[in-house]
Each structure stands twice: as structure tokens, then as C-alpha cells.
Amino acid sequence: MVQLDVRDLACPEPVIRTKKAIEANPGSVIEIVLNHPASLTNVTRMAKSMGAAVETEELAGGEYKLNVTTGQAPVSEGPAPELVACDLPGAPVRATVFVKSNVMGLGDDELGRILMKAFLKTLKSTQPPPAEIIFVNYGVHLTISGSEEIETLKELAGMGVEIVSCGTCLDFFGKLEQVEVGTVGNMFDIVERLNRASKIIAP
């Protein structure tokens, strides 16, 4: 049995470590101990999205134990599961990134595309990573088929970053059926996310 202790780790570290353990241990049982309800939810969703069976046991002192039974071989992941906010007390604040265009800054669009590509790639190495990235207006073109940023966004989603595209915007551009990563949100959802955000980054 593989044992994994993710107690007191800030989001999304429990999800990342669970994902790596599942990929590295096909056909095994992984025992995971954690102590945050949101991490419990997020780890369970991630494991199930990778085809693993999950049994949950509540321990004393607000701790939980998961027995995760993995498949015999690595599985192809479906859409990244929706994760809930899981900031621990005293943990660094995770930002909401609000992307309004497929380019970064005003001026030359070719330069703007280069900057946006670099910006999204850099988000993967920030600590902590953002909680979510919201795409509106022409920014939704970054999340649809044909976008050069799809793989970067999929990697961010695998790290527990929520990717949300404006449904009205996608519909306006006739791209509603072409979303490759994340979920489609409505304006109420977007406003709620922005309203509860502790920090907003708008590149």
C-alpha cells in the first residue's frame, strides 16, 4: 500500500500529489491522510476523474483517510473536475485572473500574443498558482480548438486551476461548441467569482 500524507498542505498541492501518486502506482491502493474538508472534496473528485475508486473514512481531530484504488493502467483524464476553494488559514491568497483579450496589453497585437503566451506559461510556476482564470470577450478564443494555448491551459487545469469561459461571448463568436478546456460560465457565475475574489489580476 502506498501512503500519502497531505495534511496542512495549501491548495492545490494535495490534488497535485494525489495525481502524481495515481499515475505512478497503477493497480495499487493509495492511503491518503488529509485534514481540510475542501482538500477532501478536491482530491476525491480528481481521483475519480482518473478512474480510481475512493473510500472515505473520517478520523478524530478533523482528519480524513482516503483509500484510493487505482486502475491497472494509467487512464486518460476527462475534463478537469470542478474544485472548491480550499485556502488554509494563513495560506497565501490565490488570485483570480481575468482575461479580456487574446493579447496582452495595448499596441502591437503580434507582441501582445507573445506576451499572453508567456504570461499563461508563467502562471504554472507561480506559488501559489491562481485559483481560477476567467476568459471574457475575445479572450475566450484562447480556450477553443485551434488555440495555441490549449496545452498550457490544460496543464493549469490539472494543477487545480479552474478555467471558465464566458458563455455569452462564445455564443456571440459562434464558438460555443469549440471549447477545449474548462467550463462555460454565465454572467452571474462570473460576477460571483469576481465578487468573492481576494485578488484579481487582469493582464
Which stretches of the chain score pLDDT less than 50? 76-77
Q: What does the pLDDT read at residue 84?
A: 55
Q: What is the pLDDT of residue 16?
A: 85
> What is the pLDDT at residue 46?
83
CA distance 165 to 136: 6
pLDDT of residue 198: 87
Q: Delineate the domains of the chain, giving CATH numbers in brackets.
A: 2-69 (3.30.110.40), 96-201 (3.40.1260.10)
Q: Is 119 exposed, middle or buried (0-12, 13-18, 19+ CB in 10 A)?
A: middle
Residue 155 belongs to what H/E stretch?
Answer: helix 150-158
pLDDT at 144: 97
Looking at the DSSP assignment, which residues form a beta bridge with residue 185?
166
pLDDT for the residue numbered 9: 80
- pLDDT for res 180: 95
**pLDDT for the residue 13:** 80
The pLDDT value recorded for residue 15 is: 83
Which amino acid belongs to residue 182?
Answer: G
How much is the pLDDT for 100? 97
C-alpha cell at 131: 485559483
Question: What confidence score (pLDDT) does residue 104 get?
Answer: 95
| pLDDT computed for residue 192 by the predictor | 87
